[in-house]
Amino acid sequence: MTRSLVIAPQWIGDAVMTEPLLRRLQARGERLTIGALPWVAPVYRAMPQVAAVIDLPFAHGGLQLRERLRMAKRFKDQFDVAYVCPNSLKSALLPLLAGIPKRVGYLGEARVGLLTHRLSNPPKAQRPPMVAFYSALSGEPGTAIDRPRLLLSPETVRNTLAQFGLTAGGYVVMAPGAEYGPAKRWPTSHFAAVAQQLDLPAVLLGSSKEAELCNEIEQGCASHNTLGSPTPHIINLAGKTSLAQALSLIAATKSIVSNDSGLMHVAAGFGVRQVAIFGSSSPLHTPPLNPLAKVLWLKSDAIYQPPLDCAPCFERVCPLGHTRCLQDVSAVEVLRFL
């Protein structure tokens, strides 16, 4: 059996989108070990084809050569092949230092000498959808895009629900964050307007960085509550869950509303009903591959006027200062699909 090491991407959504690649590799008899940064490692523990997950002790930025040398000694003679998913030079160093004989990855950042099997890296404007981009590392022909699939044990999900006093299908998840920047974030006032109309509690998920966004949604619901109207039941869990717990909460939700974010791809992986709102980015490149997903992107709406000639701009902050691509997606439109 081929012993394979996969160097994982550093973003949650990208980690989800590598799942079809891993399924291909496991199906042809490879034993998969994933080297992942701690904040994405739980995603790989929801992939049954993965034999082992190793948390890599690296941080954002910097070469961190000493730590890579230490990990390389641990990996020495342990693997036959390495698949390097990220395009950075530093991500390809570990397999080289560990002496893994076959090292597969895309060209980029002067990695010619670090990789033994190199794929041409197309410009971003010509890059295929990311699932296909990662799947090509298998070396197998075919352009069919398989949807990512995540799976957790029923016991894991039940235990998490019990911790938060929730029942499966008894709530709607809202994920208002997007690590990339505000040009990918639907306004919190719009999330609050949706929460006002729900028949079920809204569970707000996000990291501690997104606590302010979730607080705004909670406050927005309270401030717009009219006399005599029931107060929407908001369960604000921003910064209060681990990623592993968030995965379970998403797997058991009735539905989810999110931006183009890592949690959007997690929801797609679990196949839950979802509304995905796109602003500065494009669902042609990173769509939620899920038959129960509804994508809202004004760029593709022929009725919307004036047309969004500026989209997709892929900017972190709207360069025109209006963010119409998000502001003009109404709460009413989102509620139609929940």
Q: For the chain, which domains are there?
A: 2-138 (3.40.50.2000), 154-335 (3.40.50.2000)
Residue 227 in this model has a pLDDT that exceeds 60: no
Residue 232 in this model has a pLDDT that exceeds 80: no
Residue 92 in this model has a pLDDT that exceeds 90: yes
DSSP-based three-state secondary structure for 290 = coil
Interval 310-338: pLDDT, tens: 999 999 999 999 999 999 999 999 999 99
Task: Give the global pTM.
Answer: 0.94
Closest CA to 68 of 89, 52, 50: 89
Sequence letter at residue 49: Q
DSSP-based three-state secondary structure for 41 = helix
- For the chain, the average pLDDT equals 93
Alpha-carbon span 54 to 98, nearest angstrom:
15
Residue 120 in this model has a pLDDT that exceeds 70: yes
Alpha-carbon span 242 to 89, nearest angstrom:
29
pLDDT grade for 147, boundaries at 50, 70 and 90: very high
What average pLDDT does the segment 57-72 reach?
85
Looking at residue 104, its pLDDT comes to 98
Query: Bridge-partner residues for 82, per DSSP?
Result: 5, 103
